């Protein structure tokens, strides 16, 4: 799966099955440069990085690639050998050290290539630009003095160059400067502000659900959660299977979380009141209660729920649950292999990244089981397509990356009677958006199963000008 | 949960000591055992070997190649020595991810 970070030398014999969705751009700017290039890969997945590395080798003879995740030390960037590159796999960015001919070759090739943005790295960056100037005022110096230009030590020079490159790319996108190869079909700027209307929720608008006639018919969607209130009028006349894995509790949803998540993934085309909030409105619903009425459950119940869903040939399994993990903590083998075997049997598992962050200051790693490489980790964005402040990030490697983002703030959906409806926030709410859209895609072609379904899901994303650490490949889209 | 009976003393309200039989629980770890890809075809046999090694299998997950159950702490490490076992892991608790905005 694409979640794995690039490790060690990047294998250039990578699977080229996933084509990048956009082309490359060559950005030029004045100013003294280090001689190094900063390459931003539009597809920050392992496959994308491998393709990019192969391209760099082909056109410029860049032969050595190392991963910052492996070295864990950004200072190595300033000591790069000639014809070598340091890949920041979490960011989808590489710093390449080439001679002038190699740099020119890369710049020339970038105009024709897909999926890469080339930037020269700058020198003599003013610290004022990096730190808003406040730190330039030494004791006794009054405000209003002209800013000094401060030469930085080598490791900060690298950060400055990176900062400049990202700033340039961001501002180009923000100002709608056309980047060759993007085709202009998907907005790259997070300027849109969505809102619920009388007819449809903002999440369905933002993900393009209204632009497709697909309904999820013939697709089995499993939601593993706190249960489902099948007496809710919005689930009448639906094909629903329920199973409780919680000892002593029926599959009836007392908590509300399971009915809310089921509503987003599979709610009706025309609800009994209010706007449409459900996506795969003709899918068959398999609700496995793996979380108790108090909202907690064991790994065993969840694995049993996955097994049940796979046995019932559910093409999509949605899990808005998890536990926090520590930075550096490895995923459980049980989830990694369960996810892989589910994929092999045609079931794609999506799971909530987690809500333990408090941005911008605190970004915690994607939790378990979303941190398994074979399970799709879903982050949450708000109505302006900005990362939700609680959404966990791709801090850990080996599966701990965020894969995709979806609406997860102020999401209206169904609740058990008599509450009926409410708007909730969380990566729990983002996850069923991905599940519902995956069901639509699975309906479109029987070839879209397992890994192929994940690839198609990823191919359709809308890129966001946010770090891959936060939103993975981008915003889930139905079309 | 495995239990064994032992005798312990207790004092009644009247102050008369009597002997009573109580049960003391021997802690067992709730675990999941994952069979390796190469050994999937003989998962049932591995399940029997796990039982022989002290695991009480509560739920076999055939499609996933996993067994849910429990084992004593002293026998925990023995399970991973069985050929074809990819991992033996202790089960934890998960929950709805808490949110600073809402309880979801």
A299-311 helix and A333-344 helix, angle to the nearest 10 degrees: 10
- A373 within 8 A of A349, measured Cβ to Cβ: no
The residue of chain A with its CA nearest to that of B66 is: A334
**β-strands A376-381, A348-352 pairing:** parallel
Closest alpha carbon within chain B to A338? B64
Does B104 contact A426 at a Cβ distance shorter than 8 Å? Answer: yes
Tokens 């709610």, residue? Answer: A267
Count Cβ–Cβ pairs < 8 Å, chain A vs chain B: 131
Closest-CA distance, B95 to chain A, in angstroms, reads 4
From first to last of the 479 residues of chain A, give the pLDDT tens digit.
Answer: 445 332 222 222 223 233 332 333 322 233 344 566 666 666 666 777 778 888 888 888 888 887 755 544 443 444 567 788 776 554 455 667 888 788 788 777 776 666 766 665 533 332 222 222 222 222 223 322 223 333 444 445 445 445 544 544 444 454 443 433 333 334 444 456 999 999 999 999 999 999 999 999 999 999 999 999 999 999 999 999 999 999 999 999 999 999 999 999 999 999 999 999 999 999 999 999 999 999 999 999 999 999 999 999 999 999 999 999 999 999 999 999 999 999 999 999 999 999 999 999 999 999 999 999 999 999 999 999 999 999 999 999 888 999 999 999 999 999 999 999 999 999 999 999 999 999 999 999 999 999 999 999 999 999 999 999 999 999 999 99
Interface test with A, best of B1, B97, B101, B102 (most A CBs within 10 A): B97
Cα separation of B88 and A219, whole Å?
34
Q: What global pTM score does this model have?
A: 0.67
Q: Would an 8 Å CB–CB cutoff place A409 in contact with chain B?
A: yes
Contact A302 B94 (CB under 8 A): yes
Instruction: Return the exposure string of A78-105: e unless at least 16 CB atoms fall within 10 Å of the residue's CB, then b.
Output: bebeebbbbbbbbbbbbbbbbeeebbeb
Picking from A299, A304, A341, the nearest residue to B65 by CB comes out as: A341
A337: chain B residues, CB-CB within 8 Å:
34, 37, 64-66, 86-87
B32–A contact, CB cutoff 8 A: yes
Whole-number Å distance between alpha carbons of A238 and A58: 55
pLDDT at A398: 84
Q: A33-41 and A93-97 as β-strands: parallel, antiparallel, unpaired?
A: antiparallel
B residues 39-68 closer than 8 Å to A (CB): 59, 61-66, 68
How close A424 gets to chain B, by Cα (Å)?
A: 7
- Enter the DSSP assignment of B97: P
CA distance A298 to A308: 15
CA A37 to mean position of chain CA atoms: 26
User: A379 contacts in B (CB within 8 Å)?
Assistant: none
Rg of chain B on CA atoms, in Å: 20
Question: Would an 8 Å CB–CB cutoff place B91 in contact with chain A?
Answer: yes
- Mutate: best of A341, A360, A368, partner B, most B CBs <10 A: A341
CA distances in angstroms from A40 to A45, A404, A475, B10, B26, listed in the order given: 12, 18, 19, 73, 57
Q: Is B14 on the interface with A (CB under 8 A)?
A: no
**How many DSSP H helices and E strands does chain B contain?**
2, 7
DSSP string, A380-445: EE-TTSPBPTT--B--SSTT-S--EEEE-SSEEEE-STTT-EEEE-SHHHHHHHHHHHHHHHHHH-
Q: How far apart are CA A315 and CA A220, in angstroms?
A: 6
Measured between CA atoms, how close is B94 to chain A, in angstroms?
5
- Taking CA–CA distances from A225, the nearest residue in chain B reads B96
Helix, strand, coil shares, percent, chain A, to 5 = 30, 20, 50
Give Cα A186 to chain centroid, integer Å.
Answer: 17
Nearest CB partner across the interface for A307, out of B64, B91, B96: B64
- pLDDT at position B90 is 97
Query: How confident is the prediction for chain A on average, in pLDDT?
Result: 78
* 8 Å CB contact of B68 and A352: no
Q: Give me the residues paired with residue A224 across strands.
A: A288, A319
3-state DSSP call for residue B15?
coil
Nearest-by-Cβ selection for B92 from A291, A320, A323:
A323
Does A289 contact chain B (CB < 8 Å)?
Answer: no
Contact A94, A86 (CB under 8 A): yes
Query: What are the average pLDDT values for consecutive 10-residue runs of chain B, which has 104 residues?
Result: 35 44 74 98 97 98 97 96 98 76 48
Of B32, B93, B96, the CB nearest to A303: B32
**Closest Cβ–Cβ partner in B91, B95, B100 for A291:** B95
The angle at the Cα of B42, spanning B37 to B44, to the nearest 5 degrees, equals 115
Q: Which residues have C-beta within 8 Å of that of residue B86, sequence separation ≥ 6?
A: A333, A337, B34, B35, B36, B37, B39
- In whole angstroms, give the CA distance from residue A390 to residue A367: 13
Catalytic residue IDs of A: 225, 257, 428
> Which among B66, B87, B102 has CB closest to A303?
B66
B80 inside 8 A of chain A by CB:
no
Residue A355 to chain B, least CA–CA distance (Å): 5
DSSP helix/strand/coil, A341: helix
For residue B60, the chain A residue with the least C-alpha distance is A304
- ipTM of predicted assembly, 2 dp: 0.76
The token duo for A9 is 């030398």
B1 vs A contacts (CB less than 8 Å): none
């Amino acid at each position: 799966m694409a979640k794995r970070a690039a490790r060690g030398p990047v294998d250039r014999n990578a699977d080229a099955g996933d084509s990048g969705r956009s082309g490359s751009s060559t950005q030029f700017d004045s100013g003294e440069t280090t001689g190094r290039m900063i390459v931003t890969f539009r597809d920050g997945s392992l496959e994308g990085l491998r393709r990019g590395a192969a391209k760099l080798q082909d056109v410029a003879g860049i032969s050595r690639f190392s991963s910052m995740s492996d070295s864990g030390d950004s200072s190595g960037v300033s000591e790069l050998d000639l014809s070598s590159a340091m890949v920041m796999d979490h960011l989808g960015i590489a710093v390449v050290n080439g001679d002038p001919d190699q740099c020119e070759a890369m710049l020339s090739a970038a105009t024709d290539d897909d999926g890469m943005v080339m930037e020269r790295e700058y020198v003599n960056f003013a610290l004022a630009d990096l730190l808003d100037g406040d730190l330039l005022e030494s004791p006794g110096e009054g405000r209003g003095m002209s800013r000094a230009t401060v030469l930085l030590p080598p490791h900060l020079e690298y950060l400055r160059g990176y900062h400049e490159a990202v700033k340039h790319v961001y501002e180009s996108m923000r100002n709608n400067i056309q980047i060759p190869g993007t085709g202009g079909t998907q907005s790259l700027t997070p300027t849109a502000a969505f809102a619920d209307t009388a007819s449809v929720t903002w999440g369905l608008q933002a993900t393009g659900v209204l632009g497709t006639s697909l309904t999820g018919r013939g697709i089995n969607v499993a939601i593993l959660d706190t249960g489902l209130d099948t007496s809710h009028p919005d689930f009448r006349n639906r094909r629903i299977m329920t199973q409780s894995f919680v000892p002593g509790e029926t599959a009836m949803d007392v908590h509300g979380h399971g009915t809310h998540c089921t509503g987003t993934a599979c709610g009706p085309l025309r609800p009994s009141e209010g706007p449409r909030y459900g996506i795969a409105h003709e899918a068959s619903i398999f609700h496995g209660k793996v979380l108790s009425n108090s909202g907690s459950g064991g790994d065993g119940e969840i694995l049993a729920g996955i097994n049940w869903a796979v046995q019932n040939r559910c093409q999509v399994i949605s899990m808005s649950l998890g536990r926090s993990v520590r930075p550096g903590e490895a995923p459980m083998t049980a989830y990694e292999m369960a996810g892989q075997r589910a994929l092999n049997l045609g079931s794609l598992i999506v799971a909530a990244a987690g809500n333990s962050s408090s941005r911008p200051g605190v970004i915690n790693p994607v939790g378990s089981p979303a941190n398994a490489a074979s399970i799709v980790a879903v982050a949450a964005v708000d109505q302006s397509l900005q990362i939700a402040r609680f959404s966990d990030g791709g801090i850990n490697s080996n599966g701990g990356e965020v894969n995709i983002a979806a609406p997860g703030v102020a999401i209206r959906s169904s609740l058990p009677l008599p509450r009926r409806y409410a708007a909730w926030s969380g990566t729990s709410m983002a996850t069923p958006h991905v599940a519902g859209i995956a069901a639509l895609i699975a309906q479109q072609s029987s070839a879209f199963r397992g890994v192929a379904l994940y690839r198609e899901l990823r191919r359709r994303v809308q890129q966001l000008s946010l770090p891959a650490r936060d939103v993975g490949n981008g915003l889930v889209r139905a079309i | 949960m495995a239990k064994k009976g032992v005798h312990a003393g207790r004092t009644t309200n009247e102050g008369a000591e009597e002997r009573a039989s109580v049960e003391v629980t021997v802690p067992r770890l709730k675990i999941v055992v994952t069979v390796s890809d190469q050994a999937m075809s003989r998962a049932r046999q591995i399940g029997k070997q796990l039982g022989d090694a002290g695991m009480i299998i509560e739920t076999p997950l055939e499609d996933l190649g996993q067994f849910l159950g429990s084992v004593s702490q002293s026998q925990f490490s023995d399970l991973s020595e069985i050929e074809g076992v990819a991992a033996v892991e202790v089960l934890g608790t998960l929950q709805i991810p808490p949110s600073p905005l809402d309880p979801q």
